Amino acid sequence: MKHKPSSPDRTAVPDLMELKEVAAYLRIGERTVYDMVKQKKIPCSRVTGKWLFPKRLVDLWIDQNTEAAGLGRATPNLSRIVAGSHDPLLDWAVRESGCNMAMLSGGSRSGLDRLYAAEAVIAGIHLYDAATDDFNVAALAAAPLGEWVAITMAERQQGLVVANGNPLQIASIGDLIAVNARVALRQPGAGSRELWDALREQSGHAHDQFATLDAVALTETDLALAIREGAADAGLAIESAARNFGLGFIPLKVERFDLVMPRREYFSADVQRLFACIMGETFARHAASLAGYDLTKRGQVVFNS
């Protein structure tokens, strides 16, 4: 009878393992690990010429590849779509990675709806919870029964986008009322819209005190274009949207942008290609060129049901 090795000790290893350490952790040879890296069968990233293996992702991979994985709940044939919030860095990574998935931006809530309905494989979200002063975890606590994981792509600077040179001298949400600024809003269900509502309430102002446009902006780009073309004076969006169109920006809140997916899907070939890109140095350089992104928490698992 073939002896089955005991499970590895998941507590006595560093959070970021090198090749020799992950080989010992998995109780296999270093050459086997190297072959798995070349075949993109194990989660890892290459930093300054060295392969590194995040323990939290290796643990997810181990759980996924046990003999009992998938029992009790069938996984539908998901559409290969990245849905949710519009983000220029994510949009670039989907194209650059060659993952062959399609982008379908429509807001954070819409992205989760598509994910839960098996109409997307990933949802990008940034949903603020004022009670905890945190992002996404409270929203994901209400997810349908299943195995969901959320991994941070980046933190982003959110704030007021204004005309170049800030001619109305806007410095806060309250100033928008004082100068009767025309405010562009995102659609209901968008993360930026929910953050706007929360920040507005925290500032002590009611919705009807602001001169808001009737038409909503469906993306960060639409909002920035409305300001550049003079159809609006201000709106809440990420810093990169302002910088991309040569507009002014007043920072208000750092938010966390997470990618949510069924846990099994993390190990699919196209999702692995996308995350290999996200964890790479080229991604970091591109994020720096866009402005307003902080990659310190990149790759962290923030939710795992």
Q: Domain holding 102: CATH number? A: 3.40.190.10
pLDDT at 73: 40
**Residue 69 is assigned to a structural domain of this protein:** no
22 with 59, same domain: the answer is yes
How many domains, in total, are found in the chain? 3
142 with 260, same domain: the answer is yes
**Residue 98 is assigned to a structural domain of this protein:** yes
**Residue 181 is assigned to a structural domain of this protein:** yes
**In this model, does residue 105 exceed pLDDT 90?**
no
The DSSP bridge partners found for residue 235 are 161, 184
pLDDT at 1: 43
175 with 123, same domain: the answer is no
Average pLDDT over residues 271-289: 96
Q: Are 152 and 300 in contact (CB under 8 A)?
A: yes
Tens of pLDDT, residues 128-184: 999 999 999 999 998 998 899 999 999 999 999 999 999 999 999 999 999 999 999
* Encoded tokens for 291: 């402005």
120 with 260, same domain: the answer is yes
171 with 230, same domain: the answer is yes
Average pLDDT over residues 68-90: 69
**Residue 90 is assigned to a structural domain of this protein:** yes
134 with 280, same domain: the answer is yes
pLDDT at 2: 44
**In this model, does residue 4 exceed pLDDT 60?**
no
pLDDT at 271: 96
Furthest CA-CA distance within the chain: 80
pLDDT at 58: 78
**Residue 3 is assigned to a structural domain of this protein:** no
**In this model, does residue 41 exceed pLDDT 50?**
yes
Using 50, 70 and 90 to split pLDDT, how confident is the model at 62?
A: confident
**In this model, does residue 76 exceed pLDDT 70?**
no
pLDDT at 305: 87
- β-bridge pairing 50-54 and 102-105: unpaired
Separation of alpha carbons 227 and 243, rounded Å: 12
Q: What is the pTM of this model?
A: 0.75
93 with 116, same domain: the answer is yes
Helix-helix angle 88-97:269-278, to 10 degrees: 120
104 with 224, same domain: the answer is no
131 with 182, same domain: the answer is no
Domain that holds residue 32: 16-64
Q: Domain holding 34: CATH number? A: 1.10.10
pLDDT at 79: 64
